[in-house]
Amino acid sequence: MATEFIDRVTVHLSAGDGGNGCASIRREKFKPLGGPDGANGGQGGDVKFVVDAQTTTLLPLHHRPHLTANDGGIGKGDLRHGADGGDLIIAVPDGTVVKNQNGEIIADLVDAGTEYVAAAGGRGGLGNAALASSKRKAPGFALLGEPGEALSLVLELKTIADIALVGYPSAGKSSLIAAMSEAKPKIADYPFTTLVPNLGVVQAGDVRYTIADVPGLIPGASEGKGLGLEFLRHVERCAGLVHVVDMATWEPGRDPVSDLTIIESELAAYAVDLDDGNGLLPLSERPKLVALNKVDIPDGNDLADIVRPDLEAAGYRVFEISAVSHTGLRELSFAMAELVSAERERRAEFEATPKRVVIRPKAVDDRGFQIQAESDEDGPVFRIRGVKPERWVRQTDFANDEAVGYLADRLDRLGVEESLFKAGAKPGDTIVIGGDDGVVFDWDPTSVGGAELLGSRGTDLRLDEDARSTRKERKAAFHDRMDAKAAVRAEFEQERLAERAGRGRESSTGITSDSESGQE
């Protein structure tokens, strides 16, 4: 029989793309210099997971695994910005764990209202009004919108329960949870009656807690046999385990002690991959209680008297109970409450402990990109990886020469040209910005902007000695030339002053001679 409980799904998410910016010039009568008025594109919508207290299964995502957020609107003239794409909100149950395709945990969603941005929308492109500057008064281009993230994730539901009931099939776990709470699980006299975890709320004194029963475990459950492996994830968060042992089994080759030993070995073999930061122990090391069920049957009561001393000698707290007659359930419920209270106190102390905050400042010489030297059959390849360069490439309209020039200027200001020189790049070498799907172009460092984006390789490029130098070297050479000119000018001024001083002395000497001759 099919079940409506789904606790593991794979979803394919696509965030919204950012809207393109607009390149527009204001044209209005009697206003010939209206200037650029192209507006920005809207932001693409995010895909968010939000914990909803009313959602208990991942069934809706099982039927609709492909989820796409809205794109941002395009910018328009007259400074009319594009509308932002609305976020796509996906309701998930409390206790949902988000994993990537490799099985690594990305997010653990606990408590109602917790949200996680699974796929970020692309940012909108700038219009030419935002790109205008004192040097570029009327840009004839705009930036494209950035595409949103697209990825596949695995969602697993790990039930949040304080106490987990484990045991062989038909051990009476469903009857026990029905007797101790208001839960109404399916109860029948055949194995694997329970196909989904059942939750029940128990009140023991001032302590209220939840218990969950797991579909029956059999030998090899940790390796995928039966239903145990599929549902053991639901007990990873529990504070303690209760072994429900059948005292009235009629199967040959089974006895209560061997049943308990087999279940313990299966719990030890199951690896808990959930790390909530509170130091979760392996399932085999969690606090445990043993409930010897069905003691209302005479043979079961006699068998319980025989095995109880051995179990207590092994360190277990043993309770003789009957889910039918409710024998021993009160004592068991208060023992469960003790385990839950101890775990809650431990978590409260852990949360009260100040967390060490590790601050990793950005390196002083970090320019925000890296250059990787590679090679292929056509020659050396220099790959540029970085958030800014890759985003700028995605937002560039390569059909517009002015937009390409703007990209070249931005790369030059970032220091890409200088880093390429230091990495050993030569004219005509292949430069790739991004990953395998990045933009490939030939490098022409003679251009003013620093890089020339060309459509094909093999262009015959020449460099003079001045173009081979880096930007800093050219700047230093410029200052040297200016200093040399200043020195020549200062020397020339000194010569002029000396020449003037010489003529003045000669003139003064001539006047003295005339006066002396006149006196004579």
Is 195 flagged in the annotation as binding? yes
Is 96 flagged in the annotation as binding? no
Number of other CB atoms surrounding residue 321 within 10 Å: 27
Is 147 flagged in the annotation as binding? no
Separation of alpha carbons 293 and 9, rounded Å: 36
Is 214 flagged in the annotation as binding? yes
Closest listed residue to residue 166, CA positions, set 222, 241, 259: 241
H helix count then E strand count, the chain: 12, 18
Is 414 flagged in the annotation as binding? no
Is 196 flagged in the annotation as binding? yes
Q: 19 near 146, Cβ under 8 Å?
A: no
- Per-range mean pLDDT, top range of 138-142, 370-374, 419-423, 498-502: 138-142
Separation of alpha carbons 389 and 39, rounded Å: 23
Is 323 flagged in the annotation as binding? yes
> Coil, helix or strand for 326?
coil
Q: pLDDT (tens digit, 9 = 90+) per residue, 460-512?
A: 333 344 444 444 565 566 667 667 767 777 777 787 777 777 766 655 555 44
Closest listed residue to residue 242, CA positions, set 351, 123, 328, 352: 328
Is 213 flagged in the annotation as binding? yes
Ordered domains of the chain (ranges, CATH): 8-27+35-157 (2.70.210.12), 163-352 (3.40.50.300), 369-443 (3.30.300.350)
Query: What angle is formed at CA 414 by the lines to CA 411 and CA 418, rounded to 5 degrees?
Result: 85
Is 172 flagged in the annotation as binding? yes
Question: 113: phi > 0 → left, psi -120 to 50 → alpha, else beta; which?
Answer: left
Is 40 flagged in the annotation as binding? no
- Crossing angle of helices 329-352/173-180, nearest 10°? 80
Separation of alpha carbons 33 and 262, rounded Å: 86
Is 215 flagged in the annotation as binding? yes
Q: pLDDT (tens digit, 9 = 90+) per residue, 498-519?
A: 777 776 665 555 544 443 333 3
pTM assigned to the model: 0.70
Q: Which residues, other chains included, contact 304 with Cβ-Cβ below 8 Å and sequence gap of 6+?
A: 247, 292, 295, 320
Is 329 flagged in the annotation as binding? no
Is 387 flagged in the annotation as binding? no
Closest listed residue to residue 137, CA positions, set 145, 147, 127, 129: 129
Is 174 flagged in the annotation as binding? yes
Closest listed residue to residue 316, CA positions, set 227, 211, 242, 209: 242
Q: 343 near 240, Cβ under 8 Å?
A: yes
Query: Which range is least confidently modeled, 22-26, 40-44, 111-115, 362-366?
Result: 362-366
Q: pLDDT (tens digit, 9 = 90+) per residue, 322-355?
A: 888 888 999 999 999 999 998 888 877 777 777 6
Is 170 flagged in the annotation as binding? yes
Is 216 flagged in the annotation as binding? yes
Is 507 flagged in the annotation as binding? no
pLDDT, the chain, mean: 79
Separation of alpha carbons 65 and 51, rounded Å: 17
- Crossing angle of helices 401-414/387-394, nearest 10°? 180
Q: 477 near 469, Cβ under 8 Å?
A: yes
- Split at pLDDT 50, 70, 90, the class of 253 is low
Q: What is the reported pLDDT for 462?
A: 34
Q: What number of residues does the chain have?
A: 520
Give the amino acid at 231: F
Is 209 flagged in the annotation as binding? no
Separation of alpha carbons 120 and 495, rounded Å: 71
Query: What angle is formed at CA 55 by the lines to CA 54 and CA 58, rounded to 5 degrees?
Result: 175
Separation of alpha carbons 194 and 331, rounded Å: 25
If you average pLDDT over residues 129-153, what whole number do you get? 92
